[in-house]
Structure 1
Amino acid sequence: MSSTGTAPTPEAAPAAGAHGVHDEISPLRTVLVHRPGRELERLTPDTREELLFDEVLWRDRAEAQHDEFTRLLGDQGVEVLQLRDLLVDIVRDAGLREHLLARALDPAVLGDIAVQDLRGGLADLEAEALADVLIGGITVGELRSLGAEPRSIALQRVGEEHLVLDPLPNHLFTRDTSVWIGDVVSVGAMRRSARRRESLHLEMVYRHHPRFAGPGGPRRLLGRDGAGAASVEGGDVMMLSPRTVAIGMSERTSAVGVERLAAALLADDAVDRVIAIALPHRRAMMHLDTVTTVVDEESMLRFGPLPALETFEIERLGDRLVSRARPADEMDAVLARGLGVPSLRVLTPPLDAYAAAREQWDDGCNVLALAPGRVIAYERAAATNDYLRARGVEVLEFAGDELGRGRGGPRCMSCPVARG
């Protein structure tokens, strides 16, 4: 791999078999995931909140369940790309390693002397070990074990277990940090600081990995730099049809972020319409895909207690963006237009308020479509899965009780790279 590799030019035409995602349900061909690892061992009762987790996960069980997930995908003919493997390929190249470290080790966050300390310790690491540090973090004691004596004043009064570089346990949820919108990739401008280094890893992969070079790669990469208040996370983005994308305005995706992404997509002619959906700002509904997902050409699975929501249709007329507010009682009609169907079939299991809340917290709505009418779900969402089957949807299950403690289901843990 050359250290001078660049992102594909915006003019590059998609080739046969090229990557791209033009809807939510066409046969899934390639998906990007991250198998959890050492970063989960950094989750403790003291660090979990800062790292955006509600609970402390058991690494061995989480790894085993993730392996079951990827085996299930493979059995269905889906090519599975592992993020760590792609990152290892990137840091094998000396020039790209230097470029990545220069951006990942931010003196404004870590301190200038701490960055020197880290560079000294990481300089001679093999690619696999460096990728593990970038994802799993590193402590003062581990830095010393690499032969680097920390000299940063920020590290003089802390213990050996103090993290010099924080771990990235949320890499598990590859849906959030990048999303394919047709043949364009939007790299997430993440709302919380605990996740912002994740986006850098994805940007480096899409810009420089041979897998995404040339005409088979993204036609354009929409970056995270200079985002300001404009946060957009992939769990809020749904390709309803090839020319319409829905984006939730949620706890994690801001209205400014929706406008910025809409402006870029419409100016690029990647889509004709962006539908913004005004979600409640709650932890249990942090992204659009925690309360609804598309399961076939005309159907969306939906959390029952979710009220009708106001929507905004954004289009481009000449050189201006135009938004039209739609009242909450028109939400289903707006979504049906986005899907390109006469009416929307809403699938909501008939559960009481307590059971519905528990099922939604257990990621019952967060299914991953493999093809129209065929989805992957956690087995613990039993009532939802049975309801879907009774309505003609094929549901493939796997055990996810440990993975789900991280507040994310099969859709959250997968970034489709190619459908169709």
Structure 2
Amino acid sequence: MTLSNSEFKLDVTSEIGNLRALLIHSPDNGLGKVVPSKAQDWLFEDIVHLDTMRKNEYDYYVKLLMYFLDPDKIKGQLAKIDAEENNRSFYKPDDKKFHASNKVIEIQTLLEDILQDTDIRKNLVAAVCAIEGCNYRLQTELTDTAAAELAKIIISGSLNKDEMIFAPIPNLIFSRDIGIAINNFMLLNKPAKKARARETLIMRYIFFNHTLFASYRNNILEIPETVQHFLRPGEDNDQKTTLEGGDVMMVSPQHLIIGCSERTSVSGANEAIKLLFKNDVVKKVTIVKIPHKRDYMHIDTIFTQVKRNMWVLLRSLAITESPEEQDEPIAWFTDKKGKDKVEIVQFRKGKKTKTFNTIEDLLADVSERDLESKEKTQFVYSGGDIFPYNSREQWTDSCNLLAIKEGVVLGYDRNDKTVEAFKEKGFKIIKVADLLTKFESGELDPDSMTDTLILMPSAELSRARGGFHCMSMPLMRDKIL
């Protein structure tokens, strides 16, 4: 099924405007084939139970997104959908009866679409086989495979139900890391680990070849390598050019935040700034350097936006140190002594750089200056800023929330102290299963919801080390007024 939408626009100007379209990837069979000996190489902390993740967790996410973004395809059908789910995987990407939406868009569906083209299929199969070291006969076999089946194989790594031909790409569920919409541009990222190379390749082919993005092909930005990068020694050199979407936040129409973290290098941030300023995409970019630790991974694991004047934050990382003034990021963060400190510097096109003393100062500046909030900026702290719950709950993504509209955010149900902190700020708390029932009965309406934390089941999803901010690539949001 080819997705096309005359109403589709690539347009993201904030983290909190009403979400209108996004890219996701529902858990595929590859996630059920991660083995303990390779879990960390494939960037997972643990192995997951696939059916539980699908039926009891991610399925709720898809249904909730459909109610907010594409309600005509779910409203009044929930009982039927739930009944059919007892017999089959209704939430799978290749299920055309329910989850075929131009607003809640599956990566696998887009991949299947472009694979209908013979030349694209040959080129992409050749590229995948080169990355994965496949033999020529297998490459020929894959080239001759029908598009729908081939899309599954490329993503899952399995030729059939049981025969694996190359590694899965389980991190594809974290769709944000592969690309970020910035106004009406798309920044394609450069993941730090080889385990995500196939994901990057897939997304390049989709954005440059799918009809959905045909009007924006000149607005697709790719992070280049630095000059003479091929002379760089070592696999994990600090200057390797990497940038992942969890470290990129579109906080206002002219302001982008980029984190330098375990997964995004200073070189990657530097190249991104050059691209963005050269193409007049934004006027300022703020770099937030955080400790290179697995605990944090990306900046969206330590803060995300809830409302115009509210953020959820790990307070223990709020204190920063300002470095000496330099002209570009490459020169700012070269002192290895500061490796475990937070540093913040803002680059403004045609103006002098600016520094911030704390993450809270930066976020307050975004709220009160960029977004012109009339109210004082508020912070909800991970674990209520109580040790050890602050660290425990940050590990299970208490700070990694997706705003589906301003003040309505999705988070995991396991972070009890953070939930209490939201209650203290006057937020309503509701479990997703109860919310869907109220939507279906008409007791609640998505458009009228305000100041609500929606609790999502998380036993298996949280093992993958990412929340719903990670599991979304917004393509279209309403502008906030």
Q: TM-score, normalised by structure 1?
A: 0.84
Q: Which residue of 2 aligns with 1:248?
A: 259
SS of the residue 1:105 aligns to: helix
> Residue 97 in 1 paired to residue 121 in 2?
yes
* Mapped contact 2:305–2:311 kept (Cα < 8 A): yes
Matched, 1:19 2:39: no
**What is the Cα deviation at residue 117 of structure 1?**
3.3
The residue identity in structure 1 corresponding to 2:61 is F
1:235 aligns with: 246
Q: C-alpha distance in 1, partners of 2:150/2:393?
A: 39
Distance change (3 Å), C-alpha of 1:390 and 1:180: same
Offset, 1:110: 4.3
Maintained 8 Å contact 2:177/2:246? yes
SS in 1 for 2:112: helix
Whether the aligned pair in 2 keeps the contact of 1:183 and 1:218 (CA below 8 Å) is no
What does the per-residue CA deviation read over 1:196-227, in whole Å, with 9 as the maximum and x for residues that have no partner? 2101111111111111122xx46511124546
Tell whether 2:32 aligns with 1:68: no
**2: distance between equivalents of 1:173 and 1:55?**
16
Q: Equivalent residue of 2:38, what SS?
A: coil
State the alpha-carbon separation in 2 of the partners of residues 340 and 274 from structure 1. 18
Equivalent positions of 1:13-412 (< 5 A) are 18-64=9-55, 65-78=57-70, 79-106=103-130, 109-111=131-133, 114-138=134-158, 164-214=165-215, 217=216, 220-224=219-223, 226=225, 229-309=240-320, 310-317=343-350, 323-328=353-358, 330-332=361-363, 334-336=365-367, 337-341=369-373, 344-348=377-381, 349-392=383-426, 393-412=451-470
Whole-Å separation in 2 of the counterparts to 1:357 and 1:121? 49
Q: Distance in 1 between matches of 2:472 and 2:52?
A: 19
The AA in structure 1 aligned to 2:304 is: T
Q: After TM superposition, give the deviation of residue 332 of structure 1 in Å.
A: 4.6
Judged with a 3 Å threshold, the aligned counterparts in structure 2 of structure 1 residues 166 and 17 are, in CA distance, closer, same or farther, namely: closer
SS of residue paired to 1:222:
strand
Q: Secondary structure at the match of 2:455?
A: strand
Counterpart for residue 154 of structure 1: none
* 353 and 341 in structure 1: CA distance in 2 versus 1, 3 angstrom threshold: same
Change (3 A) 1:347 1:219: farther
CA deviation vs aligned residue, 1:337-381 (integer Å, no higher than 9, x gap): 454447532221524211111111111111100111111111222
Normalization by structure 2: what TM-score?
0.74
C-alpha deviation, 1:169, in angstroms = 0.5
Distance 1:332 1:223, change over 3 A: closer
> What CA distance in whole angstroms lies between the structure 2 residues aligned with 1:333 and 1:374?
20
Give the whole-Å Cα distance in 2 for the aligned partners of 1:397 and 1:127.
37
Runs of 4+ in 1 over 3 A off after TM superposition: 224-228, 321-344
- The aligned amino acid for 2:40 is E
- Look up the equivalent residue of 1:397 and give its one-letter code: L
Q: CA deviation at 1:328?
A: 3.9
CA–CA distance in structure 1, aligned partners of residues 51 and 158 of structure 2: 20
1:181–1:239 Cα contact (<8 Å) kept = yes
* Matched residue count: 380
Secondary structure of the residue aligned to 2:243 is: coil
The residue aligned with 1:5 is none
- The CA distance in 2 between the partners of 1:219 and 1:303, in whole Å, is 38
Give the SS at the match of 2:109: helix
Secondary structure of the structure 2 residue equivalent to 1:40: helix
- Aligned-pair identity (%): 30
Contact 2:223 2:271 in 1 (8 A): no
Partner SS for 1:189: coil
Q: Which residue of 2 aligns with 1:152?
A: none
Cα distance in structure 1, aligned partners of 2:150 and 2:23: 20
Given that 2:311 and 2:378 are in contact with CA atoms closer than 8 Å, whether structure 1 keeps it comes out as yes
**In angstroms, what is the RMSD of aligned CA positions?**
2.5
- Mark the CA change 1:200 to 1:224 in structure 2 (over 3 Å): closer, same or farther: farther
SS in 1 for 2:384: coil
Instruction: Name the SS of the counterpart of 1:284 in structure 2.
Output: coil
